[in-house]
Structure 1
Amino acid sequence: MRLRSLTLAVSALVLSACAATAPASPPVSQDWAGRSPYGLFLAGQAALSDGESVQAADYFGRAAEESGVGVLDERAFTAAVLSGDIDMAVRMAPTEADASEAAKRLARLVRAVDAMAHGDGREAYTLLTAQEIGFPHRTAAALLTPWAAAQAGDRQGAIVRPDVPNDKLVEFFGLLGQAYQYERLRRFDEAETDFKALTAEPEAAPMMVLAHGEFLERRGRRDEAVALYDRGLLAYPRDALLTAARARAADRRAAPPPPTPKEGAAQALLTPAAAMLAARQSQFALVYLRLALHLDPERTDAWLMVGDLMAAAGDLQAAREAYARAEPGTPEYPAAQSKLAWSYQNADEPERALEIARQAAADGDPTALLTLSDLLRTNERYAEAIPPLTRLIEESPAPDWRLLFGRGAAYERMGAWPQAEADLQAALELNPDEPDILNYLAYGWIDRGERLEEAMEMVERAVASNPRSGAMIDTLGWGYYRLGEYDKAVEKLEEAVELEAGDPEINNHLGDAYWQVGRRDEAVFQWRRVLTLDPDKRIRADAEAKLASRAGPGVRQTAAAPTK
């Protein structure tokens, strides 16, 4: 069975997130006094749209109290789940015959999770199996059922692998659950068979490698676990959890215990959560994450995913509180700090972002150093971005083209072309077909009038790999410009502007090409447009000089330099 292609994206989403405990809820608005039920309903809708699920739950709850209308009860119930107030959601869960089927399905799922959270596996199992919980919660219910059976003491029910026709997620992640259940029942040979199936692919997803490796550690087979982690790190060299697990196994420290039924159920809910994230169904994803955290409030990966959803909804305070909960010294801490720093950068608070990034990078963690370098480059502090990248390059166990490419780009932006050229060429040697390297190095040569024939061949390869990249088509058009083929330059640069209308450099290039073919008014329009697109200092100065002089672009080299 080929498992990797099925789960790689879902597993990456699950493992890439890290945080620790529940973020504090934003304050609940009390401006509902005097509003009609309909007004409260509209306020709840607006709050829900803005990602303010706690306020939405408050508005809908008040509206339901005032009106007694069932649809408002359903909205209040849903908002309570989204806000993470599962106790309130259980109290408001619709059971009436006239409630919508969607609300009743979610209510059964919520009540089952709450029963497990309180140790009542028997009640949870009944809720999950007495009546089918259909779309869209069928996957979640199927993956939860064996864990509910385990909590209820039903040994046979716990090892039954869930089966939902045509649901590959249930098929695959049900196998993971079954492996854990076999281990819990000390049926180690059967557990190992399942774990081996999960990691059979050379690039098995990190979460499966971790699960299998931890099982081997618990069986006292630490050398085999180290070998498995090493294999995983070949495919995912910067995975913090794999790195930490390998160090633990090599040091012969105690392995994590297998998950309890509550912990296993929480992990099972991350599968549909990640699938919904991949499908851009953010509210469903948040529902499953809130339920997972009701079962296991210490799920750091779930809290980071919640933080991402809150940030996407515009609730930066809730997102930051989620990110900030990861404990220093844990494998998840650097990733959490990275997300926290970027939340400030994206809110136009770069100094606060850099302060967080510097603190996180103080102990030399690779993820933190990379975040610091990326933030410095984003803020055009290129010289400062180079030392963290240099440290990563020097300490990396194997050459990494991405680090060389990043440092080369920083050198280029600060005007140190010889160093940039060396790094970019080294990166290209490691990955000769990478379009981004081909394009960046080719542009550097084209813009300097060097090695034009070689550069044009490289950028044509890049465009062939990524024909919808405005930046790469711009490089091709700029190459034609440097060769003096201005009609071809106009054609390609117009195509690039269509793809990247807001890029100041592409618009500046198009203005130059228009000037050379005699379309002077259009050239002036393009240069004026450049000034409205937040150009950097170099591009702004170039456009302003051309507009002030009305003499057009300066003298350009149009003959190809000899190739080396």
Structure 2
Amino acid sequence: MRKLLACVAPLVLLAACATRPADDLASLDDLGGSSYGLFLAGQGALNDGRGAEAAAYFEQAQAGGADDDLISERAFTAAVMAGDIGKAAALAPTGDGASESSKRLGRMVQAVEALAQGQGKSAQALLAPEGMGFPHKGAAALLAPWAAAMAGNADGAVTRPELRNDKVVEYFGLLGQAFLYERAKRYDEAETDFKALTAGDNPGDMVLLAYGGFLERRGKRLDAVAVYDKGLADEPANSVLLAAKARAASGKAPPPAPTLRQGAAQALMAPAASMMAAKQEQLGLVYLRLALRLDPNRNEAWLMVGDLMETAGDIDSARAAYAKPKPGSPEYAAARSKLAWSYQNAKDSATALTMAREAAASGDLDAKVTLADLLRVNEKFAESSQILTEVIAARPGDWRLMYARGVANDRAGRWADGEADLRAALKLRPDDSELLNYLGYSWIDRGEHLPEALAMVQRAVASNPKSGAMIDSLGWAYYRLGDYKKAVEKLEEAVELEAGDPDINNHLGDAYWRIGRRAEAEFQWKRVLTLDPEAKMKTEVEAKLASGLGPSGPAQAARVAGQ
């Protein structure tokens, strides 16, 4: 079964903060005059990840006379999740009735607020290892040198943080030390750190951008270009690295070194990502909120927050986050892409396409790819192919673009062009299971190159044995080759994995019919009609049911390669 290219996959997560207006909230009177009722409403909002709404309920509960450690603790948590770090710092739990975990988070929040206010000494005291408990020790260790620098402690600022068996602190502590060495004008030591960070085969664009920016500031533009080229060798379409290389090569002003607040914000990005990777989504969101308190213009943090909001179903907050990056920033194209997809996912394709066209008009290649993807999803296949042709001319050799254009050409009814693109993509990426499956299924469905196509989908299934779509392709290959018993076996397996797919159910119905299980075949076809099939499939299935003759045409195709 063919699958179109996936669009942008959201990051992980839950925890959101809704933007419901305060005057839409239930009041004390609405809830029977009960502060406890407001507390329950706030707790429900907090459980659903609606931080701003929860904070408003808890605030009403306290205004209504409630004086309870639990309400205070929940109000603190809601303020953090909503991104109101100043209020959260003032509400940080300290009483005996508060949980130990809330007290620890409260200390971290107060430390970040102190950094935001330029109070380095206060932040240093709050971040001291003896007072900072699990799970915030890593974040505290990474923030400590920046607090020391803000407090005027020169030695503490360049002391590399250490935490036993914590690779995140080890790696990102070195990055922070490199920046702080530069700030102290100890350039040779800074460069030693940057070189160590970028020495591996695939160091990642964060450290490449950091080292390249340092070299640009030192007037070593050619060396900076070489650093960016190292990253582009692995990711030739990386828009951020491309922009950095263009800046360095053209002699434009280098990026400034991070301020103390910006450096501290960057230090929090690592534990945020680590927590999200460990499925600690709420804590990951907390660290993102703290980072944005220190650096409200940190675009990658806004994109991550937007992904969290969208995954949680808080579309308004997601869109507000995606709207933060400004035109001209390296993250702007990605932000507009995510914003456009948020409208597409909400079935507002007109707005999605309008936004994507506006972004693509700037000439940004990533924005053009987004437009092409949205055009394809909205069945504007010829236009999608045209846009991809422009991008491929600027980025030759990218198999993903060839794959996407192949799909668009196929769906536009230009199979010869689509097949050529798919073959070219497969030559560049011979082991990609999605590509093997798409081209293999396309041949199977047309009755072409069946032995080769069978081998291709077998390889795809071997790589993805739990993919119902790929197992469907394999079952359909056996059907086309006339091995109906094996076709039924595989198609039943595919339906078990993806019971709601109309294509797979339709194929299984055809296979049942061929082996004489006609009642079951009719059941499968009737099921197809309940699964919102495409118009063409709906017409075909209705015809099979109305005629009582089952699938029409020869079961086994004759156009096999070599025949």
Q: Who is 1:5 aligned against?
A: none
Q: Who is 2:452 aligned against?
A: 454
Q: Separation in 1 of the partners of 2:25 and 2:10?
A: 36
Taking the TM superposition and a 5 Å limit, the aligned residue runs for 1:14-33 are 25-28=19-22, 29-33=24-28
Q: Who is 2:166 aligned against?
A: 167
Alignment deviations for residues 245-294 of structure 1 (CA, whole Å, 9 cap, x no partner): 10110011111121111111111111111122223322112211111111
Code of the aligned partner of 2:449: R
CA contact (8 A) 1:24 1:321 kept: no
Q: Separation in 2 of the partners of 1:354 and 1:562?
A: 41
CA contact (8 A) 1:306 1:319 kept: yes
- C-alpha deviation, 1:559, in angstroms: 5.2
- C-alpha deviation, 1:171, in angstroms: 0.9
Please give the secondary structure, in 2, of the residue aligned with 1:257. Answer: coil
Q: Separation in 2 of the partners of 1:512 and 1:52?
A: 48
Q: Who is 2:248 aligned against?
A: 249
Taking the TM superposition and a 5 Å limit, the aligned residue runs for 1:372-521 are 372-396=371-395, 398-521=396-519
Taking the TM superposition and a 5 Å limit, the aligned residue runs for 1:105-120 are 105-120=104-119
Code of the aligned partner of 1:435: S
**Residue in structure 2 matching 1:55, options 53, 57, 62:** 53
Greater CA drift, 164-173 or 45-54? 45-54
Code of the aligned partner of 1:31: A
Taking the TM superposition and a 5 Å limit, the aligned residue runs for 1:87-486 are 87-129=86-128, 131-396=130-395, 398-486=396-484
Alignment deviations for residues 322-361 of structure 1 (CA, whole Å, 9 cap, x no partner): 2122222222111110011011111111111111001000
Please give the secondary structure, in 2, of the residue aligned with 1:131. Answer: helix
Q: Separation in 2 of the partners of 1:544 and 1:77?
A: 59
Code of the aligned partner of 2:462: A
Q: TM-score, normalised by structure 1?
A: 0.94
Q: Separation in 1 of the partners of 2:548 and 2:560?
A: 33
Code of the aligned partner of 1:522: E
Code of the aligned partner of 1:200: A
Q: Separation in 2 of the partners of 1:24 and 1:267?
A: 25
Q: Separation in 1 of the partners of 2:545 and 2:430?
A: 40
- The percent of aligned pairs where both chains have the same amino acid is 60
Greater CA drift, 143-152 or 25-34? 25-34
Q: Separation in 2 of the partners of 1:121 and 1:383?
A: 59
Code of the aligned partner of 2:172: F
Q: Separation in 2 of the partners of 1:527 and 1:130?
A: 65
Q: Separation in 1 of the partners of 2:332 and 2:343?
A: 17
CA contact (8 A) 1:125 1:149 kept: yes
Q: Who is 1:19 aligned against?
A: none
Q: Separation in 2 of the partners of 1:322 and 1:193?
A: 37
CA contact (8 A) 1:504 1:534 kept: yes
CA contact (8 A) 2:19 2:316 kept: no
Q: Number of paired residues?
A: 545
Q: Larger relative contact order (C-alpha < 8 A, sep ≥ 6)?
A: 1
- C-alpha deviation, 1:557, in angstroms: 4.5
Greater CA drift, 32-41 or 528-537? 32-41
- C-alpha deviation, 1:487, in angstroms: 0.2
The RMSD of aligned alpha carbons is 1.8
Q: Separation in 2 of the partners of 1:538 and 1:229?
A: 49
CA contact (8 A) 1:226 1:246 kept: yes
Q: Separation in 2 of the partners of 1:206 and 1:68?
A: 49
Code of the aligned partner of 1:510: L
Code of the aligned partner of 2:556: T
CA contact (8 A) 2:129 2:141 kept: no
Q: Separation in 1 of the partners of 2:114 and 2:270?
A: 20
Q: Separation in 2 of the partners of 1:419 and 1:143?
A: 53
Q: Separation in 2 of the partners of 1:164 and 1:78?
A: 27
Please give the secondary structure, in 2, of the residue aligned with 1:67. Answer: coil
Greater CA drift, 300-309 or 218-227? 300-309
Unaligned runs of 5+ in 1: 1-11, 17-22
Distance 1:52 1:24, change over 3 A: closer
Distance 1:99 1:556, change over 3 A: same
List structure 1 runs of 4+ shifted beyond 4 angstroms.
23-26
2:33 counterpart of 1:39: no
Q: Separation in 2 of the partners of 1:416 and 1:537?
A: 20
Code of the aligned partner of 2:531: L
- C-alpha deviation, 1:560, in angstroms: 5.2
Q: TM-score, normalised by structure 2?
A: 0.94
Code of the aligned partner of 1:118: Q
Q: Separation in 2 of the partners of 1:272 and 1:266?
A: 11
Q: Who is 2:539 aligned against?
A: 541
Alignment deviations for residues 392-415 of structure 1 (CA, whole Å, 9 cap, x no partner): 11111x311111111111122222
Code of the aligned partner of 2:380: R
Please give the secondary structure, in 2, of the residue aligned with 1:119. Answer: coil
- C-alpha deviation, 1:80, in angstroms: 0.4
Q: Separation in 2 of the partners of 1:193 and 1:42?
A: 55
Q: Separation in 1 of the partners of 2:142 and 2:467?
A: 41
CA contact (8 A) 2:18 2:52 kept: no
Q: Separation in 2 of the partners of 1:421 and 1:412?
A: 7
CA contact (8 A) 2:142 2:267 kept: yes
- C-alpha deviation, 1:131, in angstroms: 3.2
- C-alpha deviation, 1:62, in angstroms: 2.6
- C-alpha deviation, 1:38, in angstroms: 2.0
Q: Separation in 1 of the partners of 2:218 and 2:344?
A: 45
Distance 1:173 1:111, change over 3 A: same
